[in-house]
Amino acid sequence: MILLCLETMGMFATSNNIFGLMLKCLIDFGGLGSKSLIKKLVSIGCDGSSVFQGHKIGVTQQFNEEVVPFVMWVHYFAPKTNLTIITLFDVPLVH
């Protein structure tokens, strides 16, 4: 499993840049060549932003078109869960 944090990209976090960085990390740090990437990349978790989930030029679409056409995308719910917990913490009954 490779965990990649993209928060430091800031304003340069376009779908093309993120796709390139993810692919480079999978190949360089994950030790996956193009053939093994097709065999071993099963799913990728990401948030629901248009940069990742956009159906025209999103990162998910680029992976589907250029690398692995059958990869499964999993929506990462931790940020929403965190916001829910913070909101509910203010309710006396839940607190």
pLDDT by residue (tens digit) across 29-82? 878 887 888 888 888 887 777 777 777 888 888 888 888 888 888 877 776 777
pTM for this predicted structure: 0.65
Average pLDDT along the chain: 77
How many angstroms separate the Cα of 45 from the Cα of each of 42, 52, 59, 94? Answer: 10, 10, 11, 30
For 8-44, how does the pLDDT look when each residue is reduced to its tens digit (9 = 90+)? Answer: 566 667 888 888 888 888 888 878 887 888 888 888 8
What was the pLDDT predicted at 56? 80
Domain limits of the chain? 13-89
Cα separation, 22 vs 82, in Å, equals: 25
State the burial class of residue 34 (Cβ atoms within 10 Å of its Cβ: 0-12, 13-18, 19+): exposed
What was the pLDDT predicted at 87? 82
Tell me what percent of the residues of the chain surpass a pLDDT of 90.
0
Q: Helix, strand, or coil here: 14?
A: coil
